[in-house]
Amino acid sequence: MKVLVINGPNLNLLGTREPEIYGSSTLSDIQQNVEGLLSQAGFSCDFFQSNAEHEIVEKIQAAISNTAFIIINPAAFTHTSVAIRDALAAVAVPFIEIHLSNPHARESFRRHSYLSDIAEGVIAGFGENSYYLACEAVIKRLQHPKKC
Amino acid sequence: MKVLVINGPNLNLLGTREPEIYGSSTLSDIQQNVEGLLSQAGFSCDFFQSNAEHEIVEKIQAAISNTAFIIINPAAFTHTSVAIRDALAAVAVPFIEIHLSNPHARESFRRHSYLSDIAEGVIAGFGENSYYLACEAVIKRLQHPKKC
Amino acid sequence: MKVLVINGPNLNLLGTREPEIYGSSTLSDIQQNVEGLLSQAGFSCDFFQSNAEHEIVEKIQAAISNTAFIIINPAAFTHTSVAIRDALAAVAVPFIEIHLSNPHARESFRRHSYLSDIAEGVIAGFGENSYYLACEAVIKRLQHPKKC
Amino acid sequence: MKVLVINGPNLNLLGTREPEIYGSSTLSDIQQNVEGLLSQAGFSCDFFQSNAEHEIVEKIQAAISNTAFIIINPAAFTHTSVAIRDALAAVAVPFIEIHLSNPHARESFRRHSYLSDIAEGVIAGFGENSYYLACEAVIKRLQHPKKC
Amino acid sequence: MKVLVINGPNLNLLGTREPEIYGSSTLSDIQQNVEGLLSQAGFSCDFFQSNAEHEIVEKIQAAISNTAFIIINPAAFTHTSVAIRDALAAVAVPFIEIHLSNPHARESFRRHSYLSDIAEGVIAGFGENSYYLACEAVIKRLQHPKKC
Amino acid sequence: MKVLVINGPNLNLLGTREPEIYGSSTLSDIQQNVEGLLSQAGFSCDFFQSNAEHEIVEKIQAAISNTAFIIINPAAFTHTSVAIRDALAAVAVPFIEIHLSNPHARESFRRHSYLSDIAEGVIAGFGENSYYLACEAVIKRLQHPKKC
Amino acid sequence: MKVLVINGPNLNLLGTREPEIYGSSTLSDIQQNVEGLLSQAGFSCDFFQSNAEHEIVEKIQAAISNTAFIIINPAAFTHTSVAIRDALAAVAVPFIEIHLSNPHARESFRRHSYLSDIAEGVIAGFGENSYYLACEAVIKRLQHPKKC
Amino acid sequence: MKVLVINGPNLNLLGTREPEIYGSSTLSDIQQNVEGLLSQAGFSCDFFQSNAEHEIVEKIQAAISNTAFIIINPAAFTHTSVAIRDALAAVAVPFIEIHLSNPHARESFRRHSYLSDIAEGVIAGFGENSYYLACEAVIKRLQHPKKC
Amino acid sequence: MKVLVINGPNLNLLGTREPEIYGSSTLSDIQQNVEGLLSQAGFSCDFFQSNAEHEIVEKIQAAISNTAFIIINPAAFTHTSVAIRDALAAVAVPFIEIHLSNPHARESFRRHSYLSDIAEGVIAGFGENSYYLACEAVIKRLQHPKKC
Amino acid sequence: MKVLVINGPNLNLLGTREPEIYGSSTLSDIQQNVEGLLSQAGFSCDFFQSNAEHEIVEKIQAAISNTAFIIINPAAFTHTSVAIRDALAAVAVPFIEIHLSNPHARESFRRHSYLSDIAEGVIAGFGENSYYLACEAVIKRLQHPKKC
Amino acid sequence: MKVLVINGPNLNLLGTREPEIYGSSTLSDIQQNVEGLLSQAGFSCDFFQSNAEHEIVEKIQAAISNTAFIIINPAAFTHTSVAIRDALAAVAVPFIEIHLSNPHARESFRRHSYLSDIAEGVIAGFGENSYYLACEAVIKRLQHPKKC
Amino acid sequence: MKVLVINGPNLNLLGTREPEIYGSSTLSDIQQNVEGLLSQAGFSCDFFQSNAEHEIVEKIQAAISNTAFIIINPAAFTHTSVAIRDALAAVAVPFIEIHLSNPHARESFRRHSYLSDIAEGVIAGFGENSYYLACEAVIKRLQHPKKC
């Protein structure tokens, strides 16, 4: 069973960009940790970053046949992409929306997400730990689907 | 080091109320699991439920001297209590806001929280797992404060 | 079969407070009349007033096992209590929302109710008669459940 | 003393239209019951339905000389007719606004009424019983004008 | 040259309804005065009242061929009728919107008019004098079209 | 099988009114073409125009027994009539909303329609062709109900 | 008895500025006509223009002792001056608000007036005739105070 | 004559909580000063703090018979309690609303108060001096009721 | 003469995604039918789908020299793309906006389109027939440009 | 040390204008009392009134070198003057905003102040006592700057 | 050819007021530089500052006959003066709106300008360089009127 | 030192598209002029256009190491791209936002920019001169960083 982890625009800068807000780990540090957590629980992981909305849309479309869960940090696309919302709704793979920082503590336009209302759940504000908590959530959900 | 877990109004009904939404575990099932997770990591736990805003305010006030972290499922008070917000701001103990269900998938008035913008992070939509993920988050945060 | 009649904050002042708006009957006058109407129709009555949101929440929670209908005059809590809404939704006992005066003829913040959209019905503006009309409604509803 | 009962657009379809929402009684069934209740209390009844705003306006204008109370189910005109509001204000006959279903549980545009703030009272959500409760209210009000 | 004077719903009650606001002259008193003023200036007058939107729409449609100016007191239709707006725009006869009372001093919904932005001008708040001032305006406009 | 084509207020002026916007065909030209298209496909046609909301409401009510589809150009009533919406919902005959011009390119109040969200579909901006396209849509829909 | 006529900012440019909108008469042409109309009816006239809010405020304050009516074309101050509103309310001299052009046909910020709700009446859209109609209104009002 | 001084939620923390904003005096320091000021002027003082809305409601209700003035620092309840507003309106004892800090300089939700429009006056932003200024205001008001 | 048919994001999934809403035809089925209809009328067809906003922008830019009409189903980009709007405005090729489902019957954010106010017309809610109706519209428009 | 007391437009009318709202003391009565209070505490006073925004702006600018505190009753300019706000921010002299009446109990546009969020504090609703309380506040603040 | 440079309220304080935001150059330093730049390009310069709206209005009015371009830093009047907008529209001299700081990075009320939509262009955020850039823009525009 | 000049979607059409609004210079004409201005001042220039949001995001990301200033004409992305905002904030290179036309004089959705509040400055409405003025601004800023 595969878990797809999607990272939106500018997350390739992680570790170099405002470390006091986002931490000093790079996206590839996080990838390693995520892959470790998931493989330990018996899941494979497809870890993906793109700055292009259409590449994310197409990655989600491709998930339709072989993906048990999606973890998505949509970054800026949280607030602007109906196309990603529509792709997630179309493939009907359950997904978790995550954020490094807490969007409610930032500019007011970050309070609206095009994904939250169709997400399984939302995890925000824990820095790189948001990824690891989402892994835990996915593992719990796939191992004990009845629990929540 | 103590972790305070606060549960807002109507959560005492858990397990009996709309199990298809909130799961069939009772609040005391959750309490046991939470205490297990935290004690395993070396933290004591004060697990508290009240339907009264002032009791929650006072519980938070009392946390000022001996509590390392607060996990709060404010339930209905999420949307109506400035007093709880003020108490949390006053004691300055870091806290995580959790929700069993996904507030963005419910009535529109549930989209506004008086707590989110001053929370460390928010976890919503994972049923009882929201509690356990918050425990993980607290443990990670207290053991590696530099990480996020 | 029991009917629970709940009275929100400041209704204990009834008869003493602005009688030209609210009439000169006291809450205990109303209680007597309500009990009379309901017992005549074969229902027992639990008549309750509180200025505390949590006491009303807990009264509603307790209704889960033995109450056929709730009549609630939520007074100020109409506009501010999500906790009471959640309690009513949780116990799933059908309820009628009543008001002594007509909220639409008062300050604009009284136009929004956290209860109306999940109530069986709403009766407002008839002074103490709002209670007696609600009793009639409950009786009709319990005696002829098919009718509406 | 005469009571005028006005029924707005589409209420002529009652009993045939979405019976699971509006009940299976026809408007003429309701008329019979209303006339019965009122005549029993010593009042005559003028029961009127129209799909035309101007006919309702003119019916209300005609009430100025001989009508003690108006019961109006304005249906769709609740949300769109200032002319009916002005007619009711002009004749200054006290009136009760009723609804079969609960407008707060339907589309958001049904939350605004052009009549509520000048009505004596509002009764909504009780199916055909909304009519009978309004009759009770009128009878109580005309027999004991001091009471509310 | 004909001037059409249109009166909206409930204006047939004029003189009987709230005389302290609207004055004690009846609509037929006003009609006599209006006809006097206009005939003195060499214009014929078609004075019309209806409580029905469609009758007003059709009266306006009929004006297309033989009417130099329309004076309209739309009353309640000011705030609710797009059909009257469309009729006035279609026939392209210049018109003046008048009101007996000052809509800005009344309920807030009276501040919006569907006609004002396509009217030649607006006269409001002068009681029956609003009609006579509109006549003056029409006469000035038709006798000295260049002036404004 | 009958198709009912309803035309709202001021459409009787078609061909005479702002031809550069609405074209120079009259409503009876359109009626002929519509009847031709529908009869060619084996449907009879009831083509109706009224400036009165209640006549349109009653025409729709009468359609309940013998009409397969309604095409409605509600004109000004698009933005103001809840009664027509309620009639269409009550009879439950599928309908298409059409407009000669494009409401999104006109005044901002024309952007809201009381009908669109319960319509099968909407066709706007094609002048008289909006009617013929709606006929095509009805024919396709009735001949191949499975297709959309 | 004196009538004060106040002209707000930029009206000194009248006749030179956008004559196709405001007409070609200068403010002093208008002054002559206004003085003529008022003196004919036995009233003296104080005709005043200023581009300064405080000069208008002080002119109004001075009117307290000797002025029967104020006609004010507040121009830009319509939308921005609470000080002029307060001055008019303080001196309690009845006043008419006039506009050369129709504010509803211009930018949306011109739809709000700080004066309209406390004015006797409003006359807008008649070019210089707005002044003369206001004179008529004042004369009618002062000669027949009972009429409106 | 008694003056009731009410302190809302979290004010028991005063002196310990964010002293750079709220000062270092405790609530009991303030109580001593307030009692001194009032007794010097011949008034007794009932100084009360509660974190519970219902206790404040009931304290206000009890004031009906023996209290000349209420000074209330509603803290968080400023923005959320209609019940306290209703209690204050019911007992009809004049009251002053005070705040330690300036609510207009904080989060935007603090700009709305459920009490201000029915208060005698409002004093905000002077730290503990807000209490002493309110005492002065009460003393002036009770000794020279005509003055304001 | 060429007609360009543009399909926005996720439309490549057509036929596989929520067939009960969007029908079971694939985009290539639709392409065949569209090409058939257009070639029958003597037009060539360029049928294009992309999940990338910039590819659609560039496709539209390229249309400037050789395209008589554009039919666009912008899907998610309807609500988020000013770039596509600007491209369509820049090339000044007339276009029709189409939708498979009825956006007014879905989430409220789908009610706003960045394209509708500059489109020739809009066709929505007819499933794949929306395409064929748009072809009819284009054909009518290109063969009889005077008609609408 | 000098205290500057600024009075906005129409306050020169004090004592003559609506005495039941604003009291019967004139501004010069108040000036005497204010000067008395301040000189008693060892401060000189510059008491200033103007109906002109620019004169107030310039008075504030001049305060930069020699003024310890400003008390300002901005009257109508509260709601309309960004220039006064900017002047106060530029000179950086601490100031108190006062009002005779309670703005929250008046028209809704009086609820917004351009000054409150940068004021030290706000005192409103105490008639002329608002001035004397502000003097007390200034004296306390200048004598014990640490206290708040 | 003359260029008029207008400076709004509080700009006379430049160089003394918050230099970290507005720079340390005084307005007369800027005047010298502006005059230098313009005279070098062959234009005379009228450099004007006022804290009074009416003086700015009158300066603009006087520009009608002899001014090729206006550069205006409206400061606080940006957000509050319709009179200045009307004066600029009346004289029809093209103008550039400039700001020292970036209004979008300050309080939200600074986001609205009464001038921007009728300005040739807007330059904001460059400190005193905003003036010099505007001079360049004017020079370019007057020397090559065809270029933009 | 390098200056990066970024051009958003559809700017590749410049010179061909609505020349009466945008001028007849092509983007490559502008590029030549910009390169000339910057090289004259000793700066190299990287001039870039893309219709793809992700290409602009990545161009900005690449600027982190070697770019002194960014000039960006975001075109349609002004109003829709949070990703570009985030990229600009992440690289922390100062930037100027420019527009050919004046967004305040166009559709209302163009009034909101996702970039303005974090830009150094904004220049809008000068056609191609907006580019050259921005170059001047950059040169001034880099040569005299203290000046603004």
pLDDT band, residue H148 (cuts 50/70/90)? very low
User: Which of D10, D16, D55 has its CB closest to that of F87?
Assistant: D10
| B and C in touch (3+ CB pairs within 8 angstroms) | yes
pLDDT band, residue J24 (cuts 50/70/90)? confident
Nearest to L3 by CA among L146, L141, L145, L148: L141
Chains near C (3 or more Cβ pairs under 8 Å) = B, D, H
Give the residue on L whose Cα is nearest the Cα of K30. Answer: L147
Residue D18 has pLDDT above 90, yes or no: no
pLDDT string in tens for chain K (148-residue length): 899 999 999 999 998 877 777 778 999 999 999 999 999 999 999 999 999 999 999 999 999 888 999 999 999 999 999 999 999 999 999 999 999 999 999 999 999 999 999 999 999 999 999 999 999 999 998 887 655 4
User: In terms of DSSP bridges, do strands A121-124 and B121-124 run parallel, antiparallel, or are they unpaired?
Assistant: antiparallel
With beta carbons under 8 A apart, name residues in chain D contacting E55. Answer: 54
What residues of chain H, 12 to 71, have a C-beta less than 8 Å from chain C?
52-54, 57-58, 61, 64
The total number of residues shown for chain G amounts to 148
Chains near I (3 or more Cβ pairs under 8 Å) = A, F, L
| L and C in touch (3+ CB pairs within 8 angstroms) | no
- Segment A4-55, tens digit of pLDDT: 999 999 999 998 877 777 778 999 999 999 999 999 999 999 999 999 999 9
Distances (CA, A) of C67 to C73, C121, C130, K137, L31: 17, 17, 20, 78, 79
User: Which of K54, K58, K80 has its CB closest to that of G80?
Assistant: K80
Residues of K known to be catalytic: 22, 99
| I and C in touch (3+ CB pairs within 8 angstroms) | no
Residue type at G8 in one-letter notation: G
Q: What share of chain L is helix, strand, coil (3-state, %, to 5)?
A: 50, 20, 35
Given the residues J54, J79, J99, J132, the one annotated as active site: J99
- G107 touching E (Cβ < 8 Å): no
> K99 vs chain L: nearest CA distance in angstroms?
9
> In the 8-state DSSP scheme, what is residue G51?
S
Nearest to L91 by CA among L4, L1, L8: L4
What is the token pair recorded at F10?
Answer: 């001021």
> How far is it, in rounded angstroms, from Cα H134 to Cα H33?
12
Helix (H, G, I), strand (E, B) or coil at C137: helix
**For position G148, what pLDDT does the model report?**
43
User: Which of F8, F13, F53 has its CB closest to that of E61?
Assistant: F13
> K147 vs chain L: nearest CA distance in angstroms?
7
> How far is it, in rounded angstroms, from Cα G101 to Cα C59?
63
- Segment D80-115, tens digit of pLDDT: 999 999 999 999 999 999 999 999 999 999 999 999
pLDDT band, residue B148 (cuts 50/70/90)? very low
Chains near A (3 or more Cβ pairs under 8 Å) = B, I, L
**For position K1, what pLDDT does the model report?**
87
K102/L119 Cβ within 8 A: yes
Beta bridge partners of F70: F4, F95
Residue I87 has pLDDT above 50, yes or no: yes
The total number of residues shown for chain C amounts to 148
Residue L99 designated active-site:
yes
Which residue did the predictor score with more confidence, H101 or I16?
Answer: H101
- Segment H100-131, tens digit of pLDDT: 999 999 999 999 999 999 999 999 999 999 99
Residue I124 has pLDDT above 90, yes or no: yes
* Buried b or exposed e, range L24-46, using 16+ CB within 10 angstroms: ebbbeebbebbbebbeebebebb
pLDDT band, residue F1 (cuts 50/70/90)? confident
What is the token pair recorded at D132?
Answer: 């009978």
A9/L54 Cβ within 8 A: yes
pLDDT band, residue F26 (cuts 50/70/90)? very high
Q: Please compute the mean of the pLDDT values over residues F115-143 and round it to a whole number.
A: 95
> K8 vs chain G: nearest CA distance in angstroms?
15
E53/F50 Cβ within 8 A: no
With beta carbons under 8 A apart, name residues in chain B contacting H22. Answer: none
Helix (H, G, I), strand (E, B) or coil at F113: coil
> F40 vs chain D: nearest CA distance in angstroms?
33
Q: List domains and CATH numbers for chain H.
A: 2-143 (3.40.50.9100)
F124/I121 Cβ within 8 A: yes
The total number of residues shown for chain K amounts to 148
Alpha carbon H2 to its chain's center: 14
- Segment K110-147, tens digit of pLDDT: 999 999 999 999 999 999 999 999 999 999 988 876 55
With beta carbons under 8 A apart, name residues in chain K contacting J53. Answer: 51-53
The end-to-end CA distance of chain H, in Å, is 20
K9/J87 Cβ within 8 A: yes
User: What one-character-per-residue DSSP string does C98-112 give?
Assistant: EESS-GGGS-GGGG-
Strands (DSSP E) found in chain H: 2-7, 44-49, 67-73, 95-99, 121-124
- Segment I95-122, tens digit of pLDDT: 999 999 999 999 999 999 999 999 999 9
- Segment L111-125, tens digit of pLDDT: 999 999 999 999 999
Residue F49 has pLDDT above 70, yes or no: yes
Residue J23 has pLDDT above 70, yes or no: yes
- F10 touching E (Cβ < 8 Å): yes
Could you tell me where the DSSP H helices lie in I1-125? 19-22, 27-40, 53-62, 82-91
> G65 vs chain E: nearest CA distance in angstroms?
24
> A144 vs chain B: nearest CA distance in angstroms?
11
Chains near G (3 or more Cβ pairs under 8 Å) = E, J, K
From the candidates C7, C10, C115, which should be mutated to test the interface with H, based on the most H CB atoms within 10 A? C10
Residue F148 has pLDDT above 50, yes or no: no
Residue I147 has pLDDT above 70, yes or no: no
Strands (DSSP E) found in F8-145: 44-49, 67-73, 95-99, 121-124
Residue E3 has pLDDT above 60, yes or no: yes
- A112 touching I (Cβ < 8 Å): no
Q: Which residues of chain C have pLDDT under 50?
A: 148
**For position C148, what pLDDT does the model report?**
43
> How far is it, in rounded angstroms, from Cα L75 to Cα L72?
9
**For position F144, what pLDDT does the model report?**
77
> How far is it, in rounded angstroms, from Cα D75 to Cα D77?
5
pLDDT band, residue L148 (cuts 50/70/90)? very low
Q: Please compute the mean of the pLDDT values over residues B63-79 and round it to a whole number.
A: 95
Could you tell me where the DSSP H helices lie in E6-91? 19-22, 27-40, 53-62, 82-91
Q: How many CB pairs under 8 A join A and L?
A: 50
Report the range of poorest mean pLDDT among A67-81, D14-28, F82-96: D14-28
| Percent of chain I predicted with pLDDT > 70 | 97
- Segment G56-105, tens digit of pLDDT: 999 999 998 889 999 999 999 999 999 999 999 999 999 999 999 999 99
> How far is it, in rounded angstroms, from Cα F48 to Cα A106?
57
> K12 vs chain G: nearest CA distance in angstroms?
20
- Segment E58-93, tens digit of pLDDT: 999 999 888 999 999 999 999 999 999 999 999 999
- B80 touching H (Cβ < 8 Å): yes
Beta bridge partners of K48: K6
Residue owning tokens 């803290």 = H75
Q: What is the mean pLDDT of chain G?
A: 93
Give the residue on J whose Cα is nearest the Cα of H98. Answer: J123
Structural contact between residues G12 and G27, judged by C-beta atoms closer than 8 angstroms: yes
> How far is it, in rounded angstroms, from Cα I54 to Cα L12?
12
Give the residue on C whose Cα is nearest the Cα of H118. Answer: C107
Q: Rounded to two decimals, what is the model's pTM?
A: 0.95
Give the residue on J whose Cα is nearest the Cα of G118. Answer: J107
Strands (DSSP E) found in F2-66: 2-7, 44-49
> A80 vs chain I: nearest CA distance in angstroms?
7
J121/H123 Cβ within 8 A: yes
User: What one-character-per-residue DSSP string does chain B give?
Assistant: -EEEEEE-TTGGGTTTS-HHHH-S--HHHHHHHHHHHHHHTT-EEEEEE-S-HHHHHHHHHHTTTTEEEEEEE-GGGGGT-HHHHHHHHHHT--EEEEESS-GGGS-GGGG--SSGGGSSEEEESSTTHHHHHHHHHHHHHHH-TT--
What is the token pair recorded at G80?
Answer: 């921005």
Given the residues C22, C114, C131, C132, the one annotated as active site: C22
With beta carbons under 8 A apart, name residues in chain E contacting D83. Answer: 8-10, 51, 75-77, 80
> E100 vs chain D: nearest CA distance in angstroms?
14
Give the residue on B whose Cα is nearest the Cα of A113. Answer: B104
A12/L90 Cβ within 8 A: no
A81/I76 Cβ within 8 A: yes
With beta carbons under 8 A apart, name residues in chain H contacting B87. Answer: 9-10
User: K134 — alpha (psi -120 to 50), left (phi > 0) or beta?
Assistant: alpha
Chains near K (3 or more Cβ pairs under 8 Å) = G, J, L
> How far is it, in rounded angstroms, from Cα A22 to Cα C28?
61
From the candidates G7, G10, G53, which should be mutated to test the interface with K, based on the most K CB atoms within 10 A? G10
With beta carbons under 8 A apart, name residues in chain H contacting B91. Answer: 17
